Structure 1
């Protein structure tokens, strides 16, 4: 149903009967009633489906965005939800939708009568329920049908619809004269245990149980929409971010995010981006970067490249991010994915502690892969240049740009290794071991003008420890080499290591984030809303074969 049709259905040119001459537009009144219904009706077996249908109806009213290529800056539903009688319900609605997501209430068992037989007395609840049932019949007959079946893993349609509506509301564009109140509510809510007063300057504020929200977020990360909610809360609500970073069980949140990245080939690109940016936001905090190396995990069953009987959360994070970079190099070749992966590693690098032997190997292996790629592109560029001298007719690939990109990535990897050696050399004998084992890799970059400065410390460490190993004699066991490294760390003159600026990267949204997030949110609604159907031929906001 188009926006114009909605206006025809719900706007009266002449108001009569029970409506006074100054009555509000009927659509505005209906939206207010839906908000009241969602927020004020207690969740019981007989009200479960009423709540689902009320939330779904609000999604339908906002779905005119699906039929526009451009991001809608204003619509009738936008206008009513942003101001007037609907505005006071903002915080209650956001809070209710969050609690619906937290509780993950399952629908009543089959055979439960959602709309009981009306007794002589009737009653307010029955009248309201039957009214909503009739209302929903109007909408379904008007063109919004049902999907064939809900996905079998969807155990709580109410939680799913609530989360989708919450994401839609959070991503409504600001009105010309006021910011999005639903985003304001999401940005400012606090923990129920926080007794400090809200500043008078913060509108739509409320409190919610952060422990329950954290638990639900940890458990639901298999869905795109739950990951998007986690990103939204971490990025926009400083209370939530502070709370999460103070948790002593961060592995419950980080492991599901790592599993998303590990199964990158099974996920759509948006889901992978959100998971990666969540890691980037977390690694902006030094406390997080320290604590993840103190959490020891046993038997990570989903990691199949190698049996990991015992590894720190920090080392596992490094392994998964490096794997994502390598996958991207061979498959998608997305520069922004590289950038975000490397930024997360860079943020962590000064705090690397007791790196697992395999994690240290993978850092150097990634550098080896980049080095080979660099040499290959350099060779292609040289051949291309020779070809251009002999023939002016054949168009040549732009290898200079490829070379520039690969050199940027190599530089970043060298900075990450250098940051670890400069700040936590004594904590990472396995990295020094891996560095020495593959020391020939770094030879070609010692005099390269793009890397000469950053190679100074790496070259110093390689030279110093190579000398000590040479003094110890040939045929050394792995254990003996590590022992020499641990002894050498104490003897290495730290003042000879050149200081570089601290590697710190901060995630910042693009200037117009709605151009990314609004199509993404509506693609989630289109693909996973329960009981709602939109004709795919009419969808304009995104292409049907895209992620």
Structure 2
């Protein structure tokens, strides 16, 4: 019997067993067993399934077991965390290979397959979906299996484990880059796990470590920041999630040092941290992709904002002010006549083109921020008096863009709100000067009579995440870099998969540039 047929007979159950065991090692963090043996070889006196399959197929199927044994030290010290961490590394390596190579006859030993005029079609290589990735994506909660409820039988073995324990384990260790990649893989690929996360009432278990990591972005790798933002973007695609985060009130945020945060909502904290991430990126990384992801999350949240805090509201208007000043500076430089006296005309043209491109990017950013503010005022104004106060307090920042062709329609709505509340403020008979509390009191009363008259209804911005067509080009090198960063003794000079720029003996784990 050919290897492919034999693999089809036994592969599914063994793959499910491998993925389940590696996940359980991460979740339960058991101590490293001494003199451990692999039951897949033989359960009793009868020959094990892999002995019946044959050595070639066994080597392919048991690759995770072999790699796992190589990565885990036999010393008992630190065995608990090492076993869990390295199990997770093995799992990440396996799931991010998108294709599995096989042929009808044998697996080439030189890892190279060439086609010529004498090659028979039946001998051509056949590529299959990664079975480990499929097993992870189809994993089910052992406490609630939708198939049992719907009466649909599962095709083949399925990975079953407690999503509750997995959720809690991820929450405990998201300060580490490796569990972040696992969480991304689960919320993107496993619909059941994503749904489980979205219905949890204690979303702070995952969101607090995510936001704390973003808060400390300067000490993290750019890839880790990307993964966390994509996770938030995927979750923010769900309206229930966006509503839930504003109802979840935090007693305090001990790791946030700029100011005390007492009794603030998770949604308000998310807005603050995302805006801080944008500001950090603007000053340090200058990465358009990162900017876009942060603004996309805020845009998805905007129509569902509820009782946004004063601090978060102020930061939102300040974000528009900051981007507008950057936009104005770029526009001024673009029109600067000094560019015209550069002797090298090609250099002058290149500078002008770069400025035009950057100006266009900031125009898009400003429009998204205006869309965010507009969505809050259009769909959630009565529930957000602090946003109204922040817009009233800084209304001068919108004036330069009132007649801008890209912004004028959105600003019409904002000025409709400003005119309504300004007129109500002017009608108040007040003894003495206005104070913040008095202004808010009037705003709260006026919000009750707000009916949205004169507001134009725009299509809500809704951003979704789609993985690129060849994700392995990013994830395979990324997963192996994580392996290297943990100090495993590979020879960097022999690595051809990606360029290695670190010295393993010098680089602390997790601090290398990815």
TM-score by length of 2: 0.80
Q: Which residue of 2 aligns with 1:33?
A: none
Say whether the 8 Å CA contact 1:102–1:213 is kept in structure 2.
yes
Question: 5 Å matches for 1:222-371?
Answer: 222-371=175-324
Say whether the 8 Å CA contact 1:181–1:204 is kept in structure 2.
no
Q: Secondary structure at the match of 1:311?
A: strand
Q: Which residue of 2 aligns with 1:505?
A: 463
Partners of 2:440 and 2:2 lie apart in 1 by: 81
Question: 5 Å matches for 1:368-407?
Answer: 368-384=321-337, 387-388=339-340, 393=345, 395-396=347-348, 397=351, 398-407=354-363
Deviation of the 1:352 alpha carbon: 0.7
Say whether the 8 Å CA contact 1:221–1:227 is kept in structure 2.
yes
The higher-RCO structure (CA 8 Å, 6+ apart) is 1
Q: Secondary structure at the match of 2:201?
A: coil
Q: Which residue of 1 aligns with 2:395?
A: 439
Q: Which residue of 1 aligns with 2:110?
A: none
Structure 1, residues 407-432: CA drift from partner, whole Å, max 9, x if none? 10000000000000000000111111
- Counterpart of 1:536 (choices 482, 492, 507) is 492
Say whether the 8 Å CA contact 1:82–1:180 is kept in structure 2.
no
Partners of 1:533 and 1:316 lie apart in 2 by: 41
Partners of 1:153 and 1:222 lie apart in 2 by: 19
- Counterpart of 1:486 (choices 425, 429, 444) is 444
Partners of 1:442 and 1:301 lie apart in 2 by: 34
Partners of 1:124 and 1:190 lie apart in 2 by: 29
Q: Secondary structure at the match of 1:395?
A: helix
Q: Which residue of 2 aligns with 1:101?
A: 26
Structure 2 runs not aligned, ≥5 long = 37-42, 49-68, 101-125, 502-512
* Residues 1:449 and 2:405 are matched in the alignment: yes
Partners of 1:205 and 1:146 lie apart in 2 by: 26
Q: Which residue of 1 aligns with 2:481?
A: 523
Deviation of the 1:387 alpha carbon: 3.3
Structure 1 residues 382 and 203: alpha-carbon distance in aligned structure 2, compared to 1, 3 A threshold: farther
Structure 1 residues 359 and 82: alpha-carbon distance in aligned structure 2, compared to 1, 3 A threshold: farther
Q: Which residue of 2 aligns with 1:14?
A: none
Say whether the 8 Å CA contact 2:139–2:159 is kept in structure 1.
yes
- Counterpart of 1:220 (choices 169, 173, 184) is 173
Q: Secondary structure at the match of 1:178?
A: strand
**For the aligned residues, what is the CA RMSD?**
2.9
Partners of 1:391 and 1:81 lie apart in 2 by: 72
- Counterpart of 1:429 (choices 367, 385, 401) is 385
Deviation of the 1:283 alpha carbon: 0.7
* Residues 1:181 and 2:131 are matched in the alignment: yes
The number of residue pairs the alignment matches comes to 441
Structure 1, residues 322-349: CA drift from partner, whole Å, max 9, x if none? 0000000011010010111000000000
Structure 1, residues 1-48: CA drift from partner, whole Å, max 9, x if none? xxxxxxxxxxxxxxxxxxxxx998xxxxxxxxxxxxxxxxxxxxxxxx
Q: Which residue of 2 aligns with 1:460?
A: 416
Say whether the 8 Å CA contact 2:271–2:312 is kept in structure 1.
yes
Structure 1 residues 544 and 203: alpha-carbon distance in aligned structure 2, compared to 1, 3 A threshold: same
Partners of 2:440 and 2:346 lie apart in 1 by: 55
Partners of 2:265 and 2:423 lie apart in 1 by: 31
Partners of 2:339 and 2:166 lie apart in 1 by: 62
- Counterpart of 1:156 (choices 81, 95, 109) is 81
Structure 1 residues 312 and 145: alpha-carbon distance in aligned structure 2, compared to 1, 3 A threshold: closer
Deviation of the 1:470 alpha carbon: 2.5
Partners of 2:355 and 2:201 lie apart in 1 by: 48
Q: Secondary structure at the match of 1:298?
A: strand
* Residues 1:172 and 2:93 are matched in the alignment: no
Say whether the 8 Å CA contact 1:94–1:186 is kept in structure 2.
yes
